[in-house]
Amino acid sequence: QVRLVESGGGLVQPGGSLRLSCEASGSIVNIRAVGWFRQAPEKQRESVAAISSDGRTNVPESLKGRFTISRDNAKSTVYLQMNSLKPEDTAVYYCNAIEIGTGMEYWGKGTLVTVSS
């Protein structure tokens, strides 16, 4: 089993920056990819960034230039750097991991990001 714990959320003013962390623990050797998702009230969950085991990253075109995903293998942690934040970025941000072979997915409990003046 894999456990994912997000951290770094909070209140930030528009135009500000925030870095979220996703620390993985447990049986993590078979993780194939890690991604960040967000869900705002009454809206569908959406992918905001992903990174595969080979280091390839993917960020939606609408978020490129503002959101960057990276990892620190020594710390078993994936980061989401968010810059030039906008009120519409307000959401609960979740970390997701995909297991090699089985395709099984694991989710963290989320961390709330609020962008407001």
Query: What is the overall mean pLDDT for the chain?
Result: 95
Mean pLDDT, range 18-35, rounded to an integer: 92
Does the pLDDT of residue 102 top 90, yes or no?
no
Confidence band for 2, pLDDT divided at 50, 70 and 90: very high
Does the pLDDT of residue 38 top 90, yes or no?
yes
The whole-angstrom separation of Cα 81 and Cα 103 is 26
Residue in 37, 45, 30, 24 with CA at minimum distance from that of residue 98: 30
Does the pLDDT of residue 92 top 90, yes or no?
yes
Does the pLDDT of residue 15 top 90, yes or no?
yes
Confidence band for 32, pLDDT divided at 50, 70 and 90: confident
Percent of the chain with pLDDT over 90: 85
Mean pLDDT, range 56-85, rounded to an integer: 96
> Strand order in 67-72's β-sheet?
2-7, 18-26, 77-82, 67-72
The whole-angstrom separation of Cα 93 and Cα 117 is 20
